[in-house]
Structure 1
Amino acid sequence: MAANPDTNWLAKIEGKSFVNVSIDSANGDAINTEEFLQAARSLVTLFDILGATTFNRVIADLNTNIEKVQKRKDAAPAESETLQDLVRNELKSGQHKATEGLLWLVRGLDFTVQALRHNLDNPSSQLSVSFNQAYGTTLKPHHNFVVKGVFSAAMGFCPYRTTFFRKVDDKNAKAADNENEKVDPEVEARVSAGLSREVEALERVVKILKTFQATPEAQWK
């Protein structure tokens, strides 16, 4: 059975995901700011499937940092067409609110993409395992003791992998009753293929931005 474009998450973000973000390889892998922000907003909606209550802190942080970058772009559009230029020009002005927001946004995106990558590569793993592992290598080193506890507890409430795959394919699909319940092979193949495209695109964007953010021109301290 084909996916329903009205209820399939991958269909809903088509044309506004990280697959669609322009990267100018002739200009130092410059990333289009508006397309990036649109894709980031699309990705946030994935957490509605994962569980808005479980991931409310992640959702809030992502949205807050998206808005910080958006406000800078709106305030200085000619200087912010690419993310790299936005950072350079904001720092030249003596400010760093959007630059710091982008740093945290990239950390949040890295957390998400590492979790998805782990789960795609390890189909026998539950989402809680994938997200816990990703948290340990991305956000955890930057969180205090209290926040670490909140995140660690939240990861335990991830839906079953089968539920996640079903609801990416159809938001109205029935949740799995237990962790041993299997995904329909057609659904798994379709969702895996679509998520793999998104993950590969996001991995490239995250890698470019992490490399840039490590350079002296992206520092404000």
Structure 2
Amino acid sequence: MTKVQIPAGKTWFDVQTRHFADVPVSAEQEVSTAEFLEATESTTTIFDLLGSAIFTPMKQDMLFNVNRVRERQKLAPEVSSTLQGLVKDELTAKAHNAADGLTWLVRGLDFMVQAFKADMTANKGVAASDRYPKKEVGDLFRESYKLTLAPYHSVVIRPIFRAAMVAAPRRKDFYIRLSGQGTDLELTREGLEKWTAALEPIVAILQAFLASQEIKR
């Protein structure tokens, strides 16, 4: 897996090239395509920090779907400034490759949102450095997977993801891996909370859009 370099005193959030907090969302709830794809692509590096090559297929799948959307953006840039505009234009052309890619990206990002939100609630008041949290990362991942991705995965794919859940690091180690040397793990936990809070409304907007009658196919 790729080595993610996190400077001393910094966190994974400090080395991301784009944050979801910086993704423009219009008053009409339209999500900017370029910044969303940059933030999602940057997010995939988290899989390099989880400590097992079994997470590589997850990263590759997200990057594949980022590229599906980006290719459509390049093909029709004048109508692809927002994800909603991109998908609507693609569907008028009787195509749905980018729409499918975006659908899977939203599902994958929702998996992260639900898992990390659950850490904030199930482990509320538990320090990031605590060796014995109420729930470990593997537990959070398994519960989130059942809600977000499992319903759409085939019987062939599910075992791969379930194996990844087993390989998830312990919660304390997870926060250590998101941190540079000497970084206060509570700063990392706060960073994860802010990152999740910025991503959650974007996921909700795109879920509603993808489920709307306007683009049913």
Task: Say whether the fold is shared (TM-score over 0.5).
Answer: yes
Give me the TM-score of the superposition, normalised by structure 2.
0.87
| Bigger relative CO (Cα 8 Å, ≥ 6 apart) | 2
SS at match of 1:195: helix
Aligned residue number for residue 11 of structure 1: 14
- In 2, the alpha carbon distance for the partners of 1:5 and 1:31 equals 34
Amino acid at match of 2:210: Q
Say which is worse superposed, 31-40 or 111-120, in terms of deviation: 111-120
Pair 32,156 (structure 1): closer, same or farther in 2 beyond 3 Å: same
Q: Judge conservation of contact 1:50–1:159 (CA < 8 Å) in 2.
A: yes
Equivalent position to 2:197, from 197, 200, 203? 200
Amino acid at match of 1:80: S
- In 2, the alpha carbon distance for the partners of 1:104 and 1:4 equals 32
Say which is worse superposed, 143-152 or 68-77, in terms of deviation: 143-152
- In 1, the alpha carbon distance for the partners of 2:172 and 2:50 equals 11
Superposed CA offset, 1:105-132 (max 9, x none): 1111111111111123223211100100
Does 1:160 find its partner at 2:170? yes
The alignment of Structure 1 onto Structure 2 pairs a total of residues equal to 202
Measured after TM superposition, the shift of residue 29 of structure 1 is 0.3
SS at match of 1:166: helix
What percent of counterpart residues are identical?
34
Aligned residue number for residue 111 of structure 2: 111
Stretches of 4+ aligned residues off by more than 3 angstroms = 3-7
Give me the TM-score of the superposition, normalised by structure 1.
0.86
> RMSD of the TM alignment (CA)?
1.8
Say which is worse superposed, 50-59 or 89-98, in terms of deviation: 50-59
Which 5+ residue runs of structure 2 have no aligned equivalent? Answer: 1-5, 124-132
Amino acid at match of 2:155: F
Q: Judge conservation of contact 2:9–2:184 (CA < 8 Å) in 1.
A: no
- In 2, the alpha carbon distance for the partners of 1:163 and 1:219 equals 43
- In 2, the alpha carbon distance for the partners of 1:52 and 1:40 equals 21
Which 5+ residue runs of structure 1 have no aligned equivalent? Answer: 174-185
Amino acid at match of 2:82: T
